[in-house]
C-alpha cells in the first residue's frame, strides 16, 4: 500500500480548511484511507540518521497517509483533496476537457520500428500555461515518483518523462539505438555521456542503479529526440538536462514510454487530470499525436475517456445490504466522483471519469455506494442459510491424537515447514533425500531452501535450543511434511506425520517404543503380525544407529515409518550431546 | 517415594525448598538432616546440598553442637523470659540461619513458642573485607613483602595487593621509596585493619572512627538482618512429644493416629510439579478458533497442500500477472517441481479471457496473459488458494449455501523481524450464499469476534486485489487506547466467481486474520520467534495457561 507524505499546511491549503488531527483521521477512515503517522522532515531524518543530521531540517508537521493500491488518483495532494472535497460535497466533480489544438497543429511523436524490441509503446500530452509554485512543483515531481514505484512497477511497465516544451521543438522521435550511439547531457550533470558511459556512471547511483537492468541487456536503448536532435529522455533511466522543467516552466510536455499500454493510459490520465488544475484554463489538456512509422497507425493521447456503465439498484442494494432508491444512490455515487443519473426504473447510468481507472466492474460501483453510505451505518444481519459444520477428517484425527500424546507426557513442538538442504540430507545422513524434496528457487536464506521431508530436524533443533532444560526432554510434532508426487497436479503433496524424540542420558529405546505402542493403542491397533495389527522389524536406516533401528509395519502390511536410537553423527550434527530415541511415522493410513 | 526423593523432585524445579530467590532457614535446617550418602542418585538434592555450603559461616565461628538446638532453645527459655535470635546467635557463636531453622522447627508444635519479627542493622564484611580478614590487609602484605632487606617497587606492583597496598603503606609511613626500592620505615607494625575486620566478623564492637574508615574502603557494609524475638508460648514445655511426619497405613489400621501428634504442613511452599506433556500455545489457540468456526456452522477445508500453482494461488483470484505480490521478493517459487500442467482447460480459458479482455461485466486488465506465469509452482501465499479450489468444486457439484474455514500455514518470502516470519498461520472464513451482503458479513464478524471477547468493532473500506467491496476490521484496544486492525475481508470479485461457473446471484465473502498475532497478544509474547519455530523456550510451552479467547 503506497504512502504519501503531505505537509499539514499544504493539506489545509488544498482542503480550504484546517482539520484537527482527530477530524482528519476520522475522515480518512470513512473514505478508506489511513492516517498512518504524523511526523516532520526533521523527525523522519532524526529517526534514521540521528539528531545531528537533522539540525537544519524543517519541523513542520507532515501527515503520512496510506492510499489504497488501486487509487492512483489519490497519490498527490491535488487528487486527494479534490476527491475528498467532492465526497464532502464542497465542490463539484470537474469535467476534464481537451484544449483546442494550436494553429500549428498537435505535437507529434514519431515511433521508429526498432522500439518494438525494447519498449514498444509511447503516449504523450501537453499542459499549457501552467503556473507552478515551489509546493506544486515538488508535488508534480513526487507524483511521478509515486507512480513509478507503484503502477509503473519500478519503471518496468511505464516510465514518465516531463519536459519544458519551450526548450525543445516537435515533432519528436521515439527511437531505439545502440548505446554507443546515444550521447547527451543527462539531468543534473555538466557534461555529455554516451549511454554506455551512463550505465557505468549510474551503476553506483543509489537511486538509479535499480532501473539499469530494465534495458541493460538489450542491444538497443530507447531514446526520445526532438526535431533538432536534442535528447529529451532515455527511458526508463533518465531525462536530458536540456529540457528539464523548472519553477518557471510554462508549457509541460509529458511523455510516457511503456511495455504495458493500458498502464501507460492510466499513468498519463492520472498526471494530466491531477495537474491540469494549475493550467490557465483549469482541467484542460492539449493532446499529442503518436504516429507508428512502420504501420502508419496514428493515435491521440491522453484518452481522458469517460466510460459509461449501467447498473441496477437491486444488484447494488443486495450486495451492500441496503434499500436505496435510484436518486439516493445517484447522490451517493456523485460523492465518490462518479456521475450517475437515473435512466429508468431501478437503473442508473454511471459515468466513470478518467481519474477512476480502478472501476472495472459494477461491483466497484457497489463498493463506492457502500463507502458513501458508510460501512458502519449498515444494519447487520446474519447469513440466511443454515449450514452444518464438518471437520476435515485428518485434522479431527490429529487433534484427538495430540491430546493423547500430551497426556502420555510428551510436549508439542511446532517447527517450520521450510529448512535447509543440509537439515534433511547430510545432517540426517540421508543424501538421497534431496531428490524427494520440494526445492525453493528463490530463498533469501539457507533456512528456506527446501520443504521438510522429515519432522526430525525440527525436533532436534528444538532440543538444541533447550539443552539446559531438565532431562529427560520428550518432544513431539504432528504436522505435514511435503514430498514430490507426480500423480498430483502440482507434482507434490503434503503427508501428515507424527514424530517424537526422547532425549536423555540413555537412548531409552524401550521408552520411545512405549510411545509407539501407546499411540497404536489410541489408534485402536494392536501389536500383532496380522493384517489389522502392527509390529516392528529390524531395519537399517542411516539416520539411526546400526542395529538399533526398526521399521514400523502397520495394518495391511504398510510400512509407516521408523523407530530407533539416532546415529551419533546425527546427534552431533544438530549440536546435541546425549543419546536420543526417535520415531517418525505416517498417520494418514489411520484415516 | 521417600521424603528424600520428594525433596529431590522439588529441587528439580526450584533452587530452594521454599522458592527461587534465596535460601530460607528451612533449607539450612533440612540440610543438617541430610547425610552425604543420601545424595547419591539424587542430582538435584546434591546440587542444592553443595550450593548451600556457600552460605555457611566459616568453621571457626561454630563452637556449639547444632544437634539438639531445639532442646537448647527450650532450656534457655525455661530459665528466662525472651531472647532475640540475632543476639543469641552472636552469644552462642552460631550461624543465625541455623538458629532460625531450629526456632521454626519448634513452631511446628503449636503454642510452645511465641515469636515476633525484629530487624537489626548489622555491619557485614564485603567480599573484599572477608579476603582482608582472611589474608591480611594489602598494606600489611606490602610491609611483609618488603621485609628487612627492601624490595623493588616494580616487583611489589606485580603483586595482586601491590597497588592498593603501596598507597596505604606509604600513607601510614610504614614504608618509603628510595630510587625505585621500597624500604621499611617502621620496625614494628600491627595489621589493625585485619584485626578490626576479624572483630566485626565475630560480632564484637569496634570504635566508630574505625568503622567509618572501613566503610570508606568498602570493606564493610550495613545490612538489615531479620530475626525473631522469641518468648514462651501459651503451652510452653521443655518436653516435646515426638511428632509424626505423616499418616501411615499402619496408623490407620491400628488406630494409633488418635494418640499421635503430627508435624504441621508448610502451606507456604509449592507442591511437587507433576510430570506431564504439554500442547503448543499456538495450537491451543488454533483449537479455540476451530471450535468457534464449528459453533457457527463453518466446515473445515482440506488445506493440506502447501505447494500450489500460480494459477490457483493468483490467476483464479483475478490477481493480474504483474501484481507485486507475484514478485520473487514476496513469494517463494518452487524450482522442483517447477510447474503444474494439469488444469481444468475450459475454466483456464475463461480465466485467461477475463484477465486479458474482460467479460462478465468487467473491463478486465487488458494485458497479455501468459500460461507460463500461471504454471509456475509456488508455496501458497494464502489459504484463499484452497478456497478458490473449493468454490470451483462447489460450482461443478451444483451450488449449495456454504460456510467454510481453514487455519493453516501460508508462506511469504519476507524479510524476517520480530513480527514477521516466512511462514505463519492464516485463519480464513468463507461464506457463499445467494444475495449475501456486506451487512451479513458484518453480522458474522460481530458474532465471531464476540466469541474472541472483542465487542467494539468498526469497519474501514480498503483495497484487496480479489475482493470488492473490501473491509478492514478494526477493534478498539483498551491498552493502546486506539483502534487496531484485526482482520481483512471482502466479497470475492465477480471476475473470480463467474468464470468458475457459480450462479450470478451468489455472493461469496471471505475474511482472514493471522493466528500468531492474537496468540502473541493473548500470551504476552513480543517476538514471533519465541512462539513459532525451533527457537521456542520450552518453559513457555510448559507454562502457558489454557486458551479461552473470551477471557
pLDDT digits (tens, 9 = 90+) for A262-292: 999 999 999 999 999 999 999 999 999 999 9
Cβ contacts below 8 Å, chain A against chain B, sum to 293
Report the residue from A69, A385, A415 with minimal CB separation from B463.
A69
Q: CA A501, CA A384: separation in Å to the nearest integer? A: 49
Residue B57's pLDDT is 43
Does A215 lie in the same domain as A118? yes
The nearest alpha carbon in chain B to A479 belongs to: B304
Residue B60's pLDDT is 36
Chain B residues with CB under 8 Å of A414 CB are 280, 282-283, 532-533, 536
Does A135 lie in the same domain as A274? yes
d(CA A279, nearest CA chain B) in Å: 31
Find the helix or strand (DSSP H, E) in which B354 lies: helix B345-356
Does A441 lie in the same domain as A493? yes
The nearest alpha carbon in chain B to A26 belongs to: B460
Chain A residues with CB under 8 Å of B343 CB are 489
d(CA B30, nearest CA chain A) in Å: 23
Within chain B, which residue ranges are assigned CATH 1.10.10.2330? 127-216
The nearest alpha carbon in chain B to A401 belongs to: B279
- Alpha helices (runs of H) in A16-121, residue ranges in sequence order: 21-31, 41-49, 77-87
The predicted complex's ipTM stands at 0.90
Residue B59's pLDDT is 35
- Alpha helices (runs of H) in B108-184, residue ranges in sequence order: 127-135, 138-146, 153-158, 162-171
Contact residues, B window 459-488, toward A, CB-based 8 Å cutoff = 459-463, 465, 468-471, 483
Does A7 lie in the same domain as A69? yes
For residue B57, the 8-state DSSP code is P
Does A495 lie in the same domain as A407? yes
pLDDT means over runs of 10, chain B (551 residues) = 78 76 70 78 82 56 59 83 85 82 81 86 83 87 85 85 85 84 83 86 80 85 85 82 84 90 83 91 95 96 96 96 86 95 95 95 92 96 96 96 97 84 95 96 93 90 92 87 90 96 96 90 86 92 88 76
Residue A222 neighbours by CB under 8 Å, 6+ apart: A115, A118, A119, A174, A175, A176, A215, A234, A235, A236, A257
Instruction: Tell me how many domains chain A contains.
Output: 4
- Do A440 and B332 lie within an 8 Å CB cutoff? yes
The alpha carbon torsion through B254, B259, B264, B270 (nearest 10 deg) reads: 10
Report the residue from A69, A413, A493 with minimal CB separation from B280.
A413
- Do A362 and B361 lie within an 8 Å CB cutoff? yes
- Do B308 and A490 lie within an 8 Å CB cutoff? yes
Percent of chain A with pLDDT over 90: 92
Within chain B, which residue ranges are assigned CATH 3.30.930.10? 281-543
Residue A198's pLDDT is 93
Q: Domain span at residue A54?
A: 3-87
Does A569 lie in the same domain as A429? yes
Domain-embedded: residue A161: yes
Question: Which one of B534, B535, B544, B547 makes the best mutation probe of the A interface by having the most chain A beta carbons within 10 Å?
Answer: B534
Residue B52's pLDDT is 75
Contact residues, B window 289-308, toward A, CB-based 8 Å cutoff = 290, 293-308
What is the overall mean pLDDT for chain A? 94
The nearest alpha carbon in chain B to A71 belongs to: B463
Domain-embedded: residue A545: yes
Chain B residues with CB under 8 Å of A383 CB are 401, 403, 431, 433, 436, 440, 443-444
Q: Domain B127-216 maps to which CATH number in 1.10.760.10, 2.60.15.10, 3.30.450.40, 1.10.10.2330?
A: 1.10.10.2330
Report the residue from A31, A458, A491 with minimal CB separation from B534.
A458
Domain-embedded: residue A383: no
Does A466 lie in the same domain as A347? no
CATH number of the domain encompassing residue A360: 3.30.56.10
Domain end call among A301, A325, A340: A301
Question: Which one of A367, A368, A377, A488 makes the best mutation probe of the B interface by having the most chain B beta carbons within 10 Å?
Answer: A367
C-alpha cell at A237: 533511466
Does A482 lie in the same domain as A400? yes
Q: CA B502, CA B466: separation in Å to the nearest integer? A: 16
- Do B306 and A480 lie within an 8 Å CB cutoff? yes
Chain B residues with CB under 8 Å of A307 CB are 363
Does A219 lie in the same domain as A136? yes
Report the residue from A390, A461, A496 with minimal CB separation from B304.
A496
Does A43 lie in the same domain as A184? no
Domain-embedded: residue A380: no
d(CA B461, nearest CA chain A) in Å: 4
Chain B residues with CB under 8 Å of A32 CB are 460-463
Report whether A122 contacts A256 (CB < 8 A): yes
- Do A465 and B301 lie within an 8 Å CB cutoff? no
- Sequence length of chain A is 591
Tell whether B332 is within 8 A of chain A (Cβ): yes
Domain-embedded: residue A461: yes
- Do B460 and A375 lie within an 8 Å CB cutoff? yes
Report whether B334 contacts B379 (CB < 8 A): yes
Report the residue from A380, A409, A448 with minimal CB separation from B446.
A380
User: Residues A457-487: pLDDT tens digits?
Assistant: 999 999 999 999 999 999 999 999 999 999 9
Chain A residues with CB under 8 Å of B443 CB are 380-383
d(CA A140, nearest CA chain B) in Å: 24
Report the residue from B279, B303, B409 with minimal CB separation from A412.
B279
Question: What φ, ψ does residue B228 adopt, rounded to 5°?
Answer: -125, 140
Other CB atoms closer than 10 Å to residue A494's CB: what's the count? 24
Chain A residues with CB under 8 Å of B328 CB are 441-442
Chain A residues with CB under 8 Å of B357 CB are none
The nearest alpha carbon in chain B to A363 belongs to: B468
d(CA A561, nearest CA chain B) in Å: 20
- Alpha helices (runs of H) in A106-209, residue ranges in sequence order: 134-149, 195-202
Residue B65's pLDDT is 59
- Do A484 and B377 lie within an 8 Å CB cutoff? no
Residue A363's pLDDT is 94
- Do B379 and A384 lie within an 8 Å CB cutoff? no
Residue B66's pLDDT is 60
Domain end call among A87, A119, A138: A87
Residue B25's pLDDT is 65
Domain-embedded: residue A385: no
CATH number of the domain encompassing residue A140: 3.50.40.10
User: Residues A86-116: pLDDT tens digits?
Assistant: 999 999 999 999 999 999 899 999 999 999 9
- Alpha helices (runs of H) in B398-462, residue ranges in sequence order: 438-451
Report the residue from B336, B402, B433 with minimal CB separation from A439.
B336
Does A492 lie in the same domain as A397? yes
Q: Is the pLDDT of residue A329 over 80?
A: yes
The nearest alpha carbon in chain B to A473 belongs to: B538
- Do B435 and A318 lie within an 8 Å CB cutoff? yes
Chain B residues with CB under 8 Å of A153 CB are 322, 324
Chain A residues with CB under 8 Å of B279 CB are 402-403, 406, 412
Q: Is the pLDDT of residue A380 over 80?
A: yes
CATH architecture group of domain B281-543? 2-Layer Sandwich (3.30)
Does A493 lie in the same domain as A567? yes
Report whether A496 contacts B304 (CB < 8 A): yes
Question: What φ, ψ does residue B473 adopt, rounded to 5°?
Answer: -100, 125
Contact residues, B window 39-78, toward A, CB-based 8 Å cutoff = none
- Do B461 and A375 lie within an 8 Å CB cutoff? yes
Q: CA B245, CA B247: separation in Å to the nearest integer? A: 7
Q: CA B52, CA B97: separation in Å to the nearest integer? A: 12
Report whether A123 contacts A264 (CB < 8 A): yes
Q: Name B429's bridge partners.
A: B405, B511
For residue A94, the 8-state DSSP code is P
Domain-embedded: residue A381: no
Amino acid at each position: 500500500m503506497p504512502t504519501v507524505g503531505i505537509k499539514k499546511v499544504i493539506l489545509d491549503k488544498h482542503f480550504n480548511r484546517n482539520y484537527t488531527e482527530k477530524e482528519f483521521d476520522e475522515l480518512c477512515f470513512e473514505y478508506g484511507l489511513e492516517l498512518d503517522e504524523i511526523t516532520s522532515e526533521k523527525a523522519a531524518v532524526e529517526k534514521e540518521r540521528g539528531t545531528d543530521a537533522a539540525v537544519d531540517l524543517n519541523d513542520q508537521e507532515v501527515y503520512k497517509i496510506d492510499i489504497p493500491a488501486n487509487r492512483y488518483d489519490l497519490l498527490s495532494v491535488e487528487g486527494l483533496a479534490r476527491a475528498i472535497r467532492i465526497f464532502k460535497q464542497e465542490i463539484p466533480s470537474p469535467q476534464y476537457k481537451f484544449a483546442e489544438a494550436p494553429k500549428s497543429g498537435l505535437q507529434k511523436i514519431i515511433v521508429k520500428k526498432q522500439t518494438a524490441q525494447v519498449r514498444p509503446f509511447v503516449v504523450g500530452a501537453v499542459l499549457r500555461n501552467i503556473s507552478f509554485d515551489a509546493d506544486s512543483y515538488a508535488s508534480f515531481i513526487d507524483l511521478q515518483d509515486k507512480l513509478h514505484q507503484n503502477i509503473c512497477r519500478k519503471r518496468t511497465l511505464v516510465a514518465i518523462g516531463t519536459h519544458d516544451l519551450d526548450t525543445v521543438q516537435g515533432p519528436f522521435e521515439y527511437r531505439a539505438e545502440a548505446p554507443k550511439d546515444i550521447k547527451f547531457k543527462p539531468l543534473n550533470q555538466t557534461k555529455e555521456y554516451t549511454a554506455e558511459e551512463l550505465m557505468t556512471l549510474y551503476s553506483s547511483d543509489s537511486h538509479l542503479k535499480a532501473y539499469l537492468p530494465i534495458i541493460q541487456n538489450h542491444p538497443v536503448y530507447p531514446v526520445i529526440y526532438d526535431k533538432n536532435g536534442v535528447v529529451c529522455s532515455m527511458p526508463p533511466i533518465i531525462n536530458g538536462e536540456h529540457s528539464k522543467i523548472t519553477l518557471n516552466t510554462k508549457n509541460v510536455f509529458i511523455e510516457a514510454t511503456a511495455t504495458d499500454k493500458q498502464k501507460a493510459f492510466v499513468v498519463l490520465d492520472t498526471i494530466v487530470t491531477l495537474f491540469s488544475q494549475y493550467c490557465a484554463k483549469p482541467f484542460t489538456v492539449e493532446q499529442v499525436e503518436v504516429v507508428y512509422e512502420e504501420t502508419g497507425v496514428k493515435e491521440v493521447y491522453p484518452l481522458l475517456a469517460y466510460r459509461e456503465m449501467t447498473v441496477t439498484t437491486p444488484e447494488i442494494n443486495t450486495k451492500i445490504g441496503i434499500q436505496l432508491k435510484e436518486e439516493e444512490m445517484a447522490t451517493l455515487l456523485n460523492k465518490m466522483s462518479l456521475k450517475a443519473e437515473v435512466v429508468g426504473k431501478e437503473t442508473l447510468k454511471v459515468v466513470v471519469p478518467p481519474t477512476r481507472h480502478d472501476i472495472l466492474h459494477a461491483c466497484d460501483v457497489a463498493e463506492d455506494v457502500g463507502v458513501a453510505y458508510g460501512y458502519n451505518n449498515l444494519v447487520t444481519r446474519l447469513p440466511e442459510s443454515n449450514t452444518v459444520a464438518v471437520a476435515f477428517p485428518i485434522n479431527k484425527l490429529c487433534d484427538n491424537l495430540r491430546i493423547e500424546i500430551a497426556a502420555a507426557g510428551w510436549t508439542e513442538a511446532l517447527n517450520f515447514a521450510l529448512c535447509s538442504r543440509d537439515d534433511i540430507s547430510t545432517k540426517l545422513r540421508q543424501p538421497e533425500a534431496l531428490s524427494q524434496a520440494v526445492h525453493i528457487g528463490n530463498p533469501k536464506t539457507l533456512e528456506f531452501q527446501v520443504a521438510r521431508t522429515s519432522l526430525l530436524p525440527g525436533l532436534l533443533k528444538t532440543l538444541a535450543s533447550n539443552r539446559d532444560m531438565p532431562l529427560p526432554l520428550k518432544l513431539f510434532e504432528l504436522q505435514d511434511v511435503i514430498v514430490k508426487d507426480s500423480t498430483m497436479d502440482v507434482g507434490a503433496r503434503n503427508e501428515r506425520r507424527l514424530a517424537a524424540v526422547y532425549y536423555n542420558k540413555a537412548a531409552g529405546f524401550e521408552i520411545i517404543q512405549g510411545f509407539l505402542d501407546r499411540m497404536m493403542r489410541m489408534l485402536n491397533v494392536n501389536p500383532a503380525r496380522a493384517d489389522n495389527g502392527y509390529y516392528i522389524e529390524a531395519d537399517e536406516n542411516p539416520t539411526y544407529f546400526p542395529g538399533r533401528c526398526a521399521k514400523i509395519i502397520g495394518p495391511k502390511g504398510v510400512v509407516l515409518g521408523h523407530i530407533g536410537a539416532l546415529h551419533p553423527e546425527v546427534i552431533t550434527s544438530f549440536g546435541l550431546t546425549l543419546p536420543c530415541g526417535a520415531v517418525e511415522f505416517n498417520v494418514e493410513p489411520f484415516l | 517415594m521417600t521424603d528424600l526423593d520428594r525433596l529431590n523432585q522439588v529441587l528439580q524445579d526450584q533452587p530452594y525448598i521454599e522458592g527461587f530467590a534465596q535460601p530460607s532457614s528451612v533449607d539450612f535446617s533440612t540440610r543438617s538432616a541430610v547425610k552425604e550418602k543420601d545424595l547419591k542418585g539424587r542430582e538435584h538434592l546434591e546440587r542444592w546440598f553443595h550450593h548451600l555450603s556457600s552460605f555457611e559461616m566459616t568453621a571457626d565461628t561454630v563452637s556449639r553442637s547444632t544437634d539438639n538446638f531445639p532442646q537448647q532453645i527450650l532450656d534457655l527459655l525455661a530459665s528466662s523470659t525472651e531472647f532475640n535470635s540475632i543476639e543469641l546467635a552472636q552469644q552462642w557463636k552460631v550461624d543465625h540461619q541455623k538458629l532460625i531453622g531450629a526456632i521454626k522447627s519448634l513452631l511446628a508444635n503449636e503454642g510452645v513458642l511465641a515469636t515476633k519479627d525484629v530487624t537489626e542493622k548489622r555491619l557485614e564484611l564485603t567480599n573484599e573485607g572477608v579476603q582482608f580478614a582472611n589474608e591480611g590487609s594489602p598494606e600489611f602484605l606490602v610491609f611483609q613483602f618488603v621485609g628487612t632487606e627492601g624490595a623493588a617497587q616494580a616487583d611489589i606492583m606485580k603483586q595482586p595487593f601491590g597497588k592498593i597496598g603501596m598507597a596505604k603503606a606509604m600513607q601510614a609511613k610504614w614504608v618509603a621509596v628510595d630510587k625505585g626500592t621500597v624500604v621499611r620505615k617502621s620496625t614494628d607494625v600491627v595489621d589493625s585493619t585485619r584485626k578490626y575486620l576479624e572483630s566485626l566478623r565475630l560480632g564484637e564492637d569496634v570504635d566508630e572512627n574505625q568503622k567509618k574508615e572501613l566503610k570508606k574502603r568498602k570493606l564493610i557494609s550495613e545490612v538489615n538482618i531479620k530475626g525473631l524475638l522469641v518468648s514462651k508460648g501459651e503451652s510452653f514445655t521443655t518436653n516435646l512429644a515426638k511428632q509424626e511426619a505423616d499418616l501411615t497405613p499402619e496408623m490407620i489400621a491400628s488406630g494409633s493416629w488418635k494418640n499421635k501428634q503430627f508435624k504441621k504442613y508448610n502451606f507456604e511452599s509449592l507442591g511437587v510439579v507433576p510430570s506431564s506433556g504439554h500442547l503448543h500455545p499456538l495450537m491451543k489457540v488454533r483449537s479455540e478458533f476451530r471450535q468457534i468456526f464449528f459453533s457457527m456452522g463453518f466446515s473445515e477445508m482440506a488445506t493440506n497442500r502447501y505447494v500450489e500453482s500460480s494459477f490457483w494461488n493468483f490467476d483464479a483470484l483475478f490477481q493480474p500477472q504483474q501484481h507485486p505480490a507475484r514478485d520473487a521478493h514476496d513469494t517463494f517459487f518452487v524450482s522442483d517441481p517447477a510447474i503444474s500442467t494439469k488444469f481444468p482447460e475450459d475454466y483456464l480459458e475463461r480465466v485467461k479471457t477475463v484477465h486479458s479482455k474482460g467479460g462478465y461485466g468487467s473491463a478486465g486488465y487488458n494485458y497479455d496473459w501468459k500460461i507460463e506465469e500461471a504454471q509456475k509452482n509456488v508455496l501458497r501465499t494464502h489459504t484463499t488458494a484452497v478456497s478458490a479450489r473449493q468454490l470451483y468444486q462447489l460450482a461443478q457439484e451444483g451450488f449449495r449455501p456454504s460456510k467454510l474455514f481453514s487455519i493453516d500455514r501460508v508462506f511469504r518470502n519476507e524479510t524476517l523481524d520480530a513480527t514477521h516470519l516466512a511462514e505463519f498461520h492464516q485463519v480464513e472464513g468463507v461464506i457463499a450464499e445467494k444475495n449475501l451482503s456486506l451487512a451479513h458479513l458484518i453480522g458474522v464478524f460481530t458474532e465471531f469476534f464476540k466469541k474472541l471477547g472483542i465487542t467494539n468493532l468498526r469497519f474501514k473500506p480498503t483495497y484487496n486485489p480479489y475482493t470488492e467491496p473490501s473491509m478492514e476490521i478494526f477493534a478498539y484496544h483498551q491498552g493502546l487506547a486506539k483502534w487496531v486492525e484485526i482482520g481483512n475481508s471482502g466479497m470475492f470479485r465477480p471476475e473470480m466467481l463467474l468464470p468458475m461457473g457459480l450462479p450470478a446471484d451468489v455472493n461469496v465473502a471471505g475474511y482472514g486474520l493471522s493466528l500468531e498475532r492474537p496468540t502473541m497478544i493473548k500470551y504476552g509474547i513480543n517476538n514471533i520467534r519465541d512462539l513459532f519455530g525451533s527457537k521456542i523456550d520450552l518453559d513457555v510451552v510448559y507454562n502457558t495457561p489454557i486458551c479461552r479467547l473470551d477471557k
